[in-house]
Amino acid sequence: MRYLLTIIAICVVVLPQAVRAQETYQSDLYDFNLVPLGGELNYPWGMDFTPDGSGLLVTEKSGQLYLYDTQSWERREIKGLPEIAEIGQGGLLDVLAHPDFADNDVIFLSHAARDDRGYGTEVVRARIDGDALTDVQTIFAALPKVRGRTHFGSRLLWGPEDKLFITLGERGQMEEAQQPINHLGSTIRINEDGSVPEDNPFVGHERYRPEIFTYGNRNVQGIILHPEREEVWIHEHGPKGGDEINILKAGANYGWPEVTYGVAYSGFEITDQTSAPGMEPPILHWTPSIAPSGMSYYDGDQFPKWQGDIFVGALVEKHLRRVSLSGDKVVGQEVMLDDLGERIRDVATGPDGYIYLLLDKSGGALMRLEPKS
């Protein structure tokens, strides 16, 4: 009887989830299947394909790093990570493979770190050697570290001119986002060894951190390089309302908290200004908030009608958002997978042209969108 009950429990708990994942979903332009890959994950956070497409790196917030074989979808855990501070929204965050990964095995990781002052976002450069990291070096540490559990960012991007972009949050210290004497509420641009590019906008400025590329950002958890326009685009969390997509311009101020379309979670008005001279406006804002996380520009061939669109995961609204563009103008949006009812933490376009998602939960998953044949 005990074994029978075990079998029944497996059927009730596991099978519906697997069958549901294989169901056909509908969008405005395609019917597609959502296929689980590579086993269960525990609050996955970031992913990146190796440049040749043979591997997929995936992080879990609690401090695990996996490398998947994209043919078999078997994975191995990579050990030897730096000390990870898992607290609130912080932990092991994004991962990025070096463009020359096939030759140098180098990756970058962003994570929350702790010292006696508090917590902050740091980035390491390391090399994968078998099943472990070697040559682990911290190449950036956001300063100052502060108390608190929120707004660590943090996405990584290999940008134009072989520069590394790092997105940060203002760690809940919203007024500091207007103070580029510190790193809080900024996006960072550095060389791969952590040095500062000579053409960064605030190099030589006495009171600004030279690593800063933009400031006035609240909590950026999506970044892409627009392949047609050669521009870096981000999205960031607003408070209650006012999530934004922005195009980065060197030295620009994106306004938080002097301008916003949102209000405090308590309902208190932060400001009545949605724009101001000298502050860059968003190309799109979501009010009410969708809580965006992860972002991918689609240029694959599996879904030709989606080419040129941007895909964004939504945490609070629990869906995949497709944003249609004409140049730098938003001309349409579609809510997808809302009937799945899952928080989508990251989105990536694979070298194979499929779209990959990370579901943000204990018992989370790596999923792939495939066109229904």
DSSP annotation of 280 reads P
Contact of 303 with 256, CB cutoff 8 Å: no
Cα 286-288-291 angle, rounded to 5 deg: 65
What is the amino acid identity at position 202? Answer: F
DSSP annotation of 161 reads G
- Cα–Cα distance, 96 to 308 (Å, whole number): 22
Report the candidate in 132, 161, 56, 64 with the shortest Cα–Cα distance to residue 101: 56
- How many Cβ atoms from other residues are within 10 Å of residue 39's Cβ? 12
Cα 170-92-370 angle, rounded to 5 deg: 105
Residues 6+ apart with CB under 8 A from 57: 47, 48, 49, 50, 65, 66, 67, 68, 95, 97, 107
The edge-to-edge listing of strands for the beta sheet with 106-115 is 92-97, 106-115, 118-129, 132-141
Residues 6+ apart with CB under 8 A from 272: none
CA–CA distances in Å: residue 253 to residues 177, 179, 219, 243, 331: 9, 10, 14, 16, 25
Q: For residue 24, what are its two tokens?
A: 């056909």
Q: For residue 246, what are its two tokens?
A: 């922005």
Active site amino acids: 151
- How many Cβ atoms from other residues are within 10 Å of residue 129's Cβ? 12
Which residues are bridge partners to 154 per DSSP? none
Residues 6+ apart with CB under 8 A from 3: none
